[in-house]
Amino acid sequence: MEQQDGGGMAATRTEGGDTARRALRLVEAVAAASSPVALQDLADAVGLSKSTAYRLLRVLQEESYVTRADSGGYRIGTRLMGLAAEVMPRADVFAGARPMLRALADLSGETATLHLRAGDEAVLVLGAESDYELRRAAHIGSATPLYRGASGQAILAFLPADEVTAIVQRADEKTRPEEVERALSMVRADGYALSQAANHPGLLGVAVPILTTTRHVAASVAISGPADRWTARRAAAFAELLTERCARLALLFETSRPSATAS
């Protein structure tokens, strides 16, 4: 059985895996909250009965992925914090990036997202959503190909030439290498990437790379929204401010190499 993931790509669903998925959704809901979350609120957020949510949370609590707060709500546990420390050893980088993303979302009126490279994909690791009802949703962990879309191309354009060639060669059969190379040349010349409906129908995005002083591309930041509101003209005009903010973010990455990056 297949379903469409957030990036529009087909993902195989393992039969009998619903229990694991429900537990993961609970972990995500607890991790996303700024304060302990009540059982009923978690059940409602994930779409489970209170009894099912409680049963899963008991297991997660036994394994230290969540813990009970004095208030009675649930918060992240020591096991989850330990894993976070393993995969994001420089948590201060992301703590520093969060308010800047919020400021960018407020200034543009659209959703601001931070993306890291993971193999041949760009992974959304942090986001600040637009206040509009109709907006780009920032689904943490969603991934899109580096060669397709603004957030990925802003990273790909500044990787070493041999890596770029290898990634483009591994692209799906619908991708035309010459078109990708042409798009990457424009990104290098302009300093930003612009794409419409490349990964998400109806959305337009502009993205800028986060480059360290050694020209290492650490990440990218994208601003995206509905194309009829966040037009190519508006997005391109916003690119200068986005570039200036990404230069500030680069200082946070100077002594950090995101461990989400894998070849």
Q: Which residue has the higher pLDDT, 120 or 53?
A: 53
| Pick among 3.30.70.20, 1.10.1040.10, 1.10.10.10, 3.10.290.10: CATH of 2-85 | 1.10.10.10
Single pTM value for the model: 0.68
Identify the pLDDT of residue 145: 93
Burial of 70 by CB count in 10 Å (0-12 exposed, 13-18 middle, 19+ buried)?
exposed
Work out the mean pLDDT of the chain and round it to a whole number: 86
Q: Where are the domains of the chain?
A: 2-85, 88-253
- Please determine, for residue 92, whether its predicted confidence score (pLDDT) is greater than 70: yes
Predicted pLDDT at 10: 39
Does the pLDDT at position 28 exceed 70? yes
pLDDT-based confidence at residue 139 (cuts at 50, 70, 90): confident
What span, in angstroms and rounded, lies between the C-alpha atoms of 157 and 192?
Answer: 10
The pLDDT value recorded for residue 31 is: 87
Give the CATH superfamily of 88-253.
GAF domain (3.30.450.40)
